[in-house]
Structure 1
Amino acid sequence: MSTPDNADETTSARATAFDDEAILLIGHGSRREKSNEQVRELAAALESRLGIPVDAAFLELAEPAIDEAIAELAALTSQVTVVHCSLFAASHVKNDVPLAIEQARAAYDLEIDNGAHLGVHPAILDLLDDRAAAVEDELGVDRAEDDVAVVLCGRGSSDPDANGDVHKLARLLYEGREFDRVEASFIGVTEPTLEESLHGLSKHRPDAVVVLPYMLGDGVLTQRVRDWTTEFDDEYPYVDALAGDPLGTDSRLLDVFADRWQEARSDSVEMSCDTCKYKVDLEGYEEDVGGARAMLRALAHQQSHADREDVDDEPHSHDAPGKHVAVCTNQTCAKMGSPAVLERLRQAARDSDHCDARITRTSCLGRCGDGPMVAVYPDGIWYGDVASEDAERIVGDHLDRDRIVSDLVDQTL
């Protein structure tokens, strides 16, 4: 942030505000520093909007990490509200951030309220409408007079709830507007892909196709959207096609962040639990129930027992396991051999005289291509590229002796 002329007064006011509450804006993190800087810009703008200190943190690939940011805030304030930059509720929102928050609550005397993802919001619909209008101007078409089709392109997720919200957003963008049609598509992971959607639209012969990359930062994925749109435009000369800009740091996002902040601090956060694959049996996702959610349950359970250690009359019918091991068995990791890893881990744990761990399958851990992935909690150690023959080392070294298998470490939380 730039330093204002009244820097001393601003610093003093910020320090006073920290006594009451701070906001932690959490972005995904990118290898492109430009994308990370956009999150920091949004944090600074939100601070100016709300008059409350706002810091930025990242899930991966950028600093500070969530635990580092919370550690700094814990020394300055007693209350932190987490606001997400995530567009939809997939694994990061439902699993990774809640786990980091549970660990922080156990480590610090700090009240932490967890907000919802950006989701479907009127301000985002207005922003997307303007992005589409900008592309129409560049193409020289008018939706009121020409057949203009829109493709809303998301990243794609292994979570059906998140993918469903992309379709909902596309439908709401269509309602009440003069587009010929608005369709949802994805870069990968799920279908329909952008290439499939574009080729399908060619059969309707619209005058123009507007492709909207539904992403915050302008990075590798948005460039892929542009490239595929250009290829389509070249292949079908009778249809003008052009990709628009991502959401970026548009000020309307601050309206959404402010609403999510108010919801979190007033205990009115609404999540789509009825369509959450971690909580209900959805067709094709039955094995995901209890996976990532079980990690949270194990951490909270273990902490509840730790809180009772000095209470002599507290009844205990059982003890929580010392560690919880989650093996990703989603599609990509499964193809790379994760079911065999899961079984070898369980067998090695049964053969051990010292292993105090629960080993379960989980859904996508968001590291597709780096698997099979194995996560060990509450240590926050994620192992990647794990082969079945590595199971004995993970059990014998890490689970039995608390010695991290360093050559397998993918990341730490």
Structure 2
Amino acid sequence: MSRPDEAPAFDDEAILLVGHGSRREKSNEQVRDLAAGLESRLGIPTDAAFLELAEPTIGEAVAGLAPAVSALTVVHCSLFAASHVKNDVPLAVERARARHDVAIDNGAHLGIHPAILDLLDARAAAVERDLDVDRGTDDVALVLCARGSSDPDANGDVHKLARLCYEGRSFSRVESSFVGVTDPRLEETLHGLAKHRPDAIVVLPYMLGDGVLTERVRDRTAEFDGEYPYVAAAAGDPLGTDSRLLDVFADRWQEARTDSVEMSCDTCKYKVDLTGYEEDVGGARAMLRALAHREAHADRDDVDDEPHAHDAPERHVAVCTNRTCAADGAPAVLERLRQAARDSEHCEARITRTSCLGRCGDGPMVAVYPDGVWYGGVGPPDAERIASSHLDRDRIVSDLVDQVL
């Protein structure tokens, strides 16, 4: 693990610690506290930035640092490699590289690390003390509960982490579960464990901050505890700002600046055909999903039961303006779409330009999300048809459809 005396500090080098961002300022302050701790650990100026819902954004933070440094390393607070790590942060980094004369290295997510295993063990031990049980003498089961993702790579790492929590420790069973998006859900896992009649079940919310999701984990664990009087059950604390996380950040920083970042490309749904995810393969589709997410994504922290809402425009329309499509009239299509959207009383869409969609020769290409409809060979008159039919009345213009994702 990296330590200050092992990593030389440079006056013109800085670190940017990137968190998701939340409407809850307490969660944002946790990221800033971690940034301050990392700066103290490494002796290198470290700022915090956020993907959304908090300031500064990655672009704003880089703009503030660029005049004073020649090298910048982006370190992620993301626990696993899902869409934020694979799409959103790389997009922001590429934009920053194009705008500023500074070398930017993009690091890996927190991932699976010995320090995290130690931290989870400590969190579990704290719950055991509260329940007055000892896994050495009592039958104690552990549930590792993550948020859940639409990326199988990230979900698979949750199961791997749960298995590593089992190895070498005295839990009778260790199960992985999720609070949303995918299965098995926490309730299902708890009820399944109850059939084995353990003395206690320790539930660990595998999240960085203490927000709506951790509250949901605690509430559902408490409900289970009341329903099954013969099993003592309680939920522990999230990772928080524990100093052991600084060990992980330091290693991810060192990997990034020495060009030794390892990503899980062998099981990345954007790069290889995984059963059930075949339509996700392709950089253009990943990029469009990232753009759509950036426009539509809003935190549900201010809503009791919905921690991850989407309340932005109903649709995002991306028009390819790369060289081939531009030569075929894409700029005129883009402007006609924007004008039609402005003139309409019912159209709720954000219309932006994008780079190559991988359909050169079939354009101009127009992609409508979240519908996943791609139109090809679109001319300015067709743009008005797309706006009046698809965007206004939710009717696909069938003769223009190139493909549906």
TM range (shorter): 0.7 to 0.9
Write out aligned runs for 1:24-43 (5 A).
24-43=16-35
Q: Is 1:249–2:277 an aligned residue pair?
A: no
Measured against aligned partners, the alpha-carbon deviations of 1:190-235 in whole angstroms (never above 9, x if no partner) come to 1001111111111111100000000000000000000000111111
Are the equivalent residues in 2 in contact too, given 1:24–1:80 (CA < 8 A)? Answer: yes
Q: Percent of counterpart pairs with the same letter?
A: 73
Is 1:150 equivalent to 2:125 in the alignment?
no
1:377 aligns with 2:369: no
Partner residue, 2:47: 55
Runs (5+) with no aligned partner, structure 1: 1-16, 297-323, 329-335, 360-370, 401-406, 409-413
Q: Counterpart of 1:138?
A: 130
Contact map agreement 2:162 2:175 (CA 8 A) in 1: yes
> When the two structures are aligned, how many residues end up with a matched partner?
328
CA pair 356-294 structure 1, distance change in 2 beyond 3 A:
farther
Q: Does 1:233 align with 2:228?
A: no
Displacement, 1:295? 3.4
Query: Which residue is equivalent to 1:224?
Result: 216
- Following superposition, the deviation at residue 388 of structure 1 comes to 9.7
Task: For residue 143 of structure 1, report the CA deviation from its aligned partner.
Answer: 0.1
Instruction: Tell me the secondary structure at the aligned position of residue 238 of structure 1.
Output: coil
Q: 2:162 aligns with which of 167, 170, 174?
A: 170
Say whether 1:355 aligns with 2:347.
no
- 8 A contact 1:295–1:377 mirrored in 2: no
Counterpart residue number, 1:12: none
Match of 1:282 among 274, 280, 283: 274
- Partner Cα distance (1:146, 1:37) in 2: 38
1:355 maps to amino acid: A
- Secondary structure of the structure 2 residue equivalent to 1:75: helix
Q: Does 1:194 align with 2:194?
A: no
Change (3 A) 1:202 1:32: same
Q: 1:73 aligns with which of 61, 65, 88?
A: 65
The superposition leaves residues 34-60 of structure 1 with CA deviations (integer Å, 9 ceiling, x where unpaired) of 000000000001000000000000001
Distance 1:59 1:343 in 2: 21
Matched, 1:129 2:121: yes
1:343 deviation in Å?
Answer: 11
RMSD: 3.8
Alpha-carbon distance, 1:76 to partner = 1.0
Cα distance change on mapping 1:255 and 1:327 into 2, 3 Å: closer
Q: Residues 123-152 of structure 1: CA distance to partner in whole angstroms, max 9, x if unpaired?
A: 000000000000000000000011100000
**Distance change in 2, residues 1:43/1:357 (3 Å):** farther
343 and 103 in structure 1: CA distance in 2 versus 1, 3 angstrom threshold: closer
TM-score by length of 1: 0.72
**1:52-103 Cα distance to aligned partner (Å, 9 max, x none):** 0000000011000110001111111011000000000000000000001111
> Which residue identity is paired with 1:377?
T
Measured in 1, the distance between the counterparts of 2:290 and 2:353 equals 5
Mapped to 1, the partners of 2:221 and 2:142 lie a distance apart of 12
> Contact 1:208–1:241 at 8 Å: present in 2 too?
yes
**Contact 2:332 2:380 survives alignment (8 Å):** no
Structure 1 consecutive aligned stretches of length 4 or more whose deviation exceeds 4 Å = 291-294, 324-328, 341-346, 356-359, 371-376, 383-389, 394-397
Q: Match of 1:250, SS?
A: coil
CA distance in 1, matches of 2:160, 2:332: 41
One-letter identity of the residue aligned with 1:354: G
The Cα of 1:354 is off from its aligned counterpart by: 2.4
**Which residue is 1:204 aligned to?**
196
Cα distance, 1:20 vs structure 2: 1.9
Tell me how far 1:112 sits from its aligned partner: 0.3
Indicate how the Cα distance of structure 1 residues 326 and 46 shifts in structure 2: closer, same or farther if over 3 A, else same.
Answer: closer
Aligned AA (1:259): D
Give, as a single letter, the amino acid of the residue that structure 1 aligns with 2:329. Answer: H
Letter in 2 for 1:197: T
Contact 2:87 2:286 in 1 (8 A): no
**1:262 paired to 2:239:** no
